[in-house]
Amino acid sequence: MHDNRHVVFFRQQGGDENWRAWRVNLQTDDVRPLTPGPGVTCFVQQISRHFPSELLIGHNERDKRFFDIYRVDVATGESALVEANDGFTGYFTDQRFNVRYAVRHAENGDVERLERKDGGDWNVFVSIGADDAMATRPIEFSDDGRELYWLDSRGRDTAAVVAQDLESGAMQVLAEDPRADFTNLLLDPVTQHPIAAAATFERTRWQVLDTDYKEDFEYLMRRSPGDLAITSMSQDRRNWIVAYLHDNAPLEYFHYDCDAQQARRLFSSIPALEDAPLVTMEPTLIRSRDGLELVCYLSRPRTARPGTRLPMALLVHGGPWTRDVWGLHPNHQWLANRGYAVLSVNYRGSTGFGKAFVNAANMEWAGKMHDDLIDAVDWAITVGIADPARVAIMGTSYGGYSALVGVTFTPEKFACAVDLVGISNLVTFLNTIPDYWMPWKSVWKVRMGDYTTEAGKRFLEERSPLNYANRIVRPLLIGQGVNDVRVKASESEQIVAAMRQHGIPVTYVSYPDEGHGLGRPENRCSFAAVAEAFLAAHLGGRREPVGNDFKDATIEFRVGRELVGRFHDSNHKLSETVRPEKWHAKPVCRDFRNAVVRIGFMESVV
């Protein structure tokens, strides 16, 4: 907080995503809750230097569908209702804690922004079409209230930085990039005027908007080959905390003295990995069959010999409306260390590459979105990187859905698949989404398929892996958090049941204390150990002895434990009985999996 006395943090229980806000007093160690619980989730709506010990919080105690806005005194824990929400997706507030705009999703996918003048009714003042809705949003008001700053794709393909004069309504473009959306805006800590903006195509690029800071950014860009991030700035602008993202080293933090134009290294985020045998992440452009440019990232084992085809893991990011970026990727490091080439693909629908690229994915789940993944695999085979008989597809959430699509829509393309909390049936998924997703459910209607009509439901069924479970001929590993509120455990259970009905083997593990992904490090390590044994059995890569990777994990083998090796029930350790190691160029790095996977195995992104 701006009072330098309190830290606000959030907790959930067992992956239920009912986040409760708490605060700790750094001087007295007093800890107290700021929002109600259980069964309530919340988020920070606004913080401001004008109210150092207060913030705006949204939570859904009154109605699980909608988030009311409360003003919370962090010191005392007291809160007061600011805005009762009876039908909006959310609100947009300013530095004075005024509720300025309401946000509503229309049935056609448009995003309406409404204002209320003189305490009257809410009226639409701008409607952002569905084509622009993914990339266009307001960021912040200037502190004097005269301007509103947007990331805005209206009238162009990629999101530009735009300043709107609130008196005249005039819009001024401050920065734009023809290849990538601007996605990060650095604002002055006092005036809230834009200082610089960042866009990411293959790597992150900063554009300075305030010339007073030109020399500072020039120095910082020279200081390290990593991608620059500005994490904080003192109110007098003289002291900054910056970080550099690397692909083969941990994140590094620096203190930057603006007066002296000198940066002093503070620490790395993961000291244990500073001397680890990490690999690079190569940005690679791959052309889809219909001409789209796919930004991909490739990692290879340090011991790979030139001209030798490798077993490969295709990692599919979640969302799907997010993207893969260059940096220290836990799964790239772990799998490359085991002898696999690793390929991450920004398939159509990934964000950050302009609205045409996002909109090209509309109604293309298990269609052209999957074609992009196949095209990327074919590229890796054509250029001699991947062994066509030893390619796995794996991912979390939408990535898990893609893994299921891989073994049902293209059943002989992949040697095996790993699905963590993936959707198996698009209709049952939409019928069980959380209550607080309902205000923006129309997004799925536009992007995935029209669940309101019989024809639309038939289309969604046609794009659902569950209905083609009888086609599966490759080994499949499924992982699921029992408490998942986004992709219910029934999504995994119904495809496991369908496979067993057809006599098709499958390995299914679940975690009773997890939700959408794996949060506890012990559980991440246990699933990584199982996945590593699974991949070694079907792709021939290396595996690390399990050791203590099952210690304190809550993993439950529901089906198919025998398919990935023997387990000792007494100590939950995996026996070393899969196939002999194939990659002898370098010994397995002991405890490497544990160190890397604890960063975040198969990260969940929706």
Residue 164 lies in a domain: no
Predicted pLDDT of residue 601: 53
More confident residue, 408 or 545: 408
- 448 and 523 part of one domain: no
Number of domains in the chain: 3
Predicted pLDDT of residue 597: 56
Q: What angle do CA 201, 204, 207 make, to 5 degrees?
A: 105
- 457 and 556 part of one domain: no
Question: Is the confidence at residue 177, as pLDDT, over 70?
Answer: yes
Among candidate residues 102, 128, 154, the one where a domain is terminated = 128
- 86 and 3 part of one domain: yes
- 443 and 524 part of one domain: no
- 370 and 493 part of one domain: yes
Predicted pLDDT of residue 574: 35
Q: What is the pLDDT of residues 200-214, one digit of tens each?
A: 999 999 999 999 999
Which pTM value belongs to this model? 0.94
Predicted pLDDT of residue 564: 85
Q: Which of 142, 153, 344, 397 is catalytic?
A: 397
Q: Band of the pLDDT at 364, cuts 50, 70, 90?
A: very high
| DSSP-derived secondary structure letter, 273 | G
Q: Which of 247, 484, 513, 549 is catalytic?
A: 484
Residue 101 lies in a domain: yes
Predicted pLDDT of residue 572: 40
Return the amino acid letter for 67: F
Q: What is the pLDDT of residues 271-319, one digit of tens each?
A: 999 999 999 999 999 999 999 999 999 999 999 998 899 999 999 999 9
Q: What is the pLDDT of residues 317-363, one digit of tens each?
A: 999 999 999 999 999 999 999 999 999 999 999 999 999 999 999 99
Question: Is the confidence at residue 533, as pLDDT, over 60?
Answer: yes
Question: What's the whole-number mean pLDDT along residues 498-518?
Answer: 98
Residue 364 lies in a domain: yes
Predicted pLDDT of residue 294: 98
More confident residue, 520 or 568: 520
Radius of gyration of the chain (CA): 25
Q: Which of 113-127, 468-482, 503-517, 582-596 has the lowest mean pLDDT?
A: 582-596
Catalytic (active site) residue 105: no
Instruction: Tell me the C-alpha distance between 400 and 170, whole Å.
Output: 45
- 447 and 547 part of one domain: no
Catalytic (active site) residue 397: yes
- 449 and 497 part of one domain: no
Share of the chain above pLDDT 90, in %: 91
Q: Provide the residue range defining the domain that includes 84.
A: 1-128
- 313 and 456 part of one domain: no
Q: Which of 105, 516, 549, 604 is catalytic?
A: 516
Residue 135 lies in a domain: no
The maximal CA–CA distance of the chain, rounded, in angstroms, is: 75
Query: Which CATH number goes with the domain that contains 405?
Result: 3.40.50.1820
Assess whether the previous peptide bond of 36 is cis (omega < 30° from 0): no
Q: What is the pLDDT of residues 552-595, one digit of tens each?
A: 999 999 999 999 865 443 344 333 323 322 222 233 344 555 55
Residue 531 lies in a domain: yes
* Residue environment code for 55-86, b if the CB has 16+ CB neighbours within 10 A, otherwise e: bbbbbbeeeeebbbbbbbebbeeebeebbebe
Mean pLDDT in the chain?
93
- 553 and 448 part of one domain: no
- 28 and 53 part of one domain: yes
* Residue environment code for 202-212, b if the CB has 16+ CB neighbours within 10 A, otherwise e: bebbbbbbbee
- 440 and 587 part of one domain: no
More confident residue, 388 or 587: 388
Predicted pLDDT of residue 191: 97
Q: Band of the pLDDT at 234, cuts 50, 70, 90?
A: very high
- 336 and 448 part of one domain: no
